[in-house]
Structure 1
Amino acid sequence: MRLVVVGCAGSFAGPAGPASSYAVQAEDGSGRTWTVVLDLGNGALGALQRVLDPFDVDAVALSHLHPDHFADLCGLYVYRRYHPSRGVLHDPALGPLAVWGPSGTERRLADAYGSRDDEDMRSVFAFRAWSPERPVRLGPFVLEVVPVRHPVEAYAIRVTGPSTDRPGEQATLVYSGDTDACDGLVEAARGADLFLCEAAFQEGRDLLDGIHLTGYRAGRAASAAGARRLVLTHLPAWNDPQVALAEAASAYAGPVALAAAGTTYTL
């Protein structure tokens, strides 16, 4: 299993790349490559095309419905509907792409796109609402979600699939989405091989409660969960990433790194 960082800027696209989006890939027993895209924030569809053909995405999994995590679904809708040879208007056999997300995802996307009655989102996307009690099985992956602490309905996403680093075994990637410190985050990250965790705030500077983690709080969550590796993401352009890195390292003894657009990690 591998993680490709498509975009990792926090809260808005930054000068070094787009907002949140991560491609998770693995091969099944027949050698077919499966791809799940975790979030598709503003600017991410362009960068995603450097990773793979958007028609090769098998599912999109949304942590929550803030624009920096889902806005480029509008562009993906256009791509999959109007592509002159492969879109659903020309190839009805294409079928809708599975989009897993919070309740109200279909309406939120339709409002963001400004859809008309003759532009049916369901011809392009098959919308499915997360249920923490029901894992989602897709090819070689199992996706599970845990509610986390953010001003809107939000989930950490736990992805289990075949390990690249340990052939014959399973590996687990956990993506925090956006959250402040909470028990659900630690529960989701328990024993993760790679914990991709947001760190948008800084200790002593950002005092708002219930919105984002700091590097220090991300490190504490990784330590409490026994995660094997921590990668910090969702840092706004106005932050010094080295501050987040130092904060995390002060609370977590394992390997910690900063996410960067275009980077690939194997698990």
Structure 2
Amino acid sequence: MKVTIIGCWGGYPKVNEATSGYLFEEEGFKLLVDCGSGVLSKLQHHIAPEELNAVLLSHYHADHIADIGVLQHALLIQKHLGKEVTTLPIYAHNEDSSFASLTYKDLTEGRVYQPNQTLTIGPFIVEFLRTVHSVPCFAMKISAHGHTVVYTADSAFQQQFIPFAKECDLLLCESNFYSGMDGKVAGHMTSTEAGRLANSACVRTLVLTHLPHFGELAKLKEEAESEFHGTVLLAKQDLEIEI
């Protein structure tokens, strides 16, 4: 399994970068997890939009879905240009009226996932966990051929993350706040909480993502490392991780 960071910023994209977007690849199948602002532009460094096989969304905040409409129009234009464009499934929860916008012409089709059920998308098996956020949002455990990635999406820390992420190969954990700050009200985690989660869950590699627009980002890594002695990486655009 290969995971590529397409965008990693919280709230809005840094100059020439993107908010949440992660490309999962296995056996030639290409799954985009979240599609925030700037993601479509940066995705094209790796694949063409029409090469996507599926999209999976955690929730409907703009920094996670802003480029869905852009993706739909990219597919429309490519079809008009004669490219072979098949209907792209976009998996999401339907606890928000925005779900209806995921279906567009014959280009994209919104498909509801049930958070209490396992979902199969191509070679990937996906399990869900409701997060602690200001809107309905779901963390994801994405597995294929014995390897597992857990993506926390947006959330304050919760004990349920520990068994959910137990011994995963890669933990994509949001770290929108620094150690000692209170992210709970905003529905986000600190670097220290991310490190503690990684340590308690005995994960192999921790990647800090959904990064803040203030402070020195290197401190996030240092603070997480004070709690977790495995591999800690700061997410960055185009980072590729082979599992």
| TM-score, normalising length: structure 1 | 0.84
**Alignment partner of 2:198 out of 187, 208, 222:** 222
Residue pairs, 1:20-169, within 5 angstroms: 20-27=20-27, 33-83=28-78, 84-86=80-82, 94-104=85-95, 107=98, 110=101, 121=104, 123-162=106-145
CA distance in 1, matches of 2:174, 2:16: 17
CA distance in 1, matches of 2:10, 2:231: 22
Give 2:226's aligned residue.
250
**Alignment partner of 1:259 out of 225, 235, 238:** 235
Counterpart amino acid of residue 81 in structure 2 = S
Q: Secondary structure, in 3 states, of the residue corresponding to 2:218?
A: helix
Q: Is 1:13 aligned with 2:13? A: yes
Superposed displacement of residue 220, structure 1: 1.0
Superposed displacement of residue 209, structure 1: 2.2
| 8 Å Cα contact 1:96-1:123 kept in structure 2 | yes
| 8 Å Cα contact 1:36-1:61 kept in structure 2 | yes
Superposed displacement of residue 178, structure 1: 0.6
Residues 189-242 of structure 1, C-alpha deviations (whole Å, 9 max, x = no match):
111100011100123344552510010001111112111110101112223211
Unaligned 5+ runs, structure 2: none
CA distance in 1, matches of 2:42, 2:192: 29
CA distance in 2, matches of 1:230, 1:17: 21
| 8 Å Cα contact 1:10-1:234 kept in structure 2 | yes
| 8 Å Cα contact 2:157-2:184 kept in structure 1 | no
Counterpart amino acid of residue 66 in structure 2 = A
| 8 Å Cα contact 1:16-1:261 kept in structure 2 | no
CA distance in 2, matches of 1:104, 1:199: 25
Counterpart amino acid of residue 106 in structure 2 = S
Q: Which runs of 4+ in 1 moved over 4 A?
A: none
CA distance in 1, matches of 2:148, 2:213: 29
| 8 Å Cα contact 1:143-1:160 kept in structure 2 | yes
Larger radius of gyration: 1
Unaligned 5+ runs, structure 1: 28-32, 114-119, 163-169
| 8 Å Cα contact 2:22-2:32 kept in structure 1 | yes
Task: Please report the RMSD computed on the Cα atoms of aligned residues, expressed in angstroms.
Answer: 2.0
CA distance in 2, matches of 1:109, 1:71: 15
Q: Secondary structure, in 3 states, of the residue corresponding to 2:47?
A: coil
Q: Secondary structure, in 3 states, of the residue corresponding to 2:226?
A: helix
Superposed displacement of residue 106, structure 1: 6.5
Identity between Structure 1 and Structure 2 (%): 29
Q: Secondary structure, in 3 states, of the residue corresponding to 2:148?
A: strand
Superposed displacement of residue 150, structure 1: 0.6
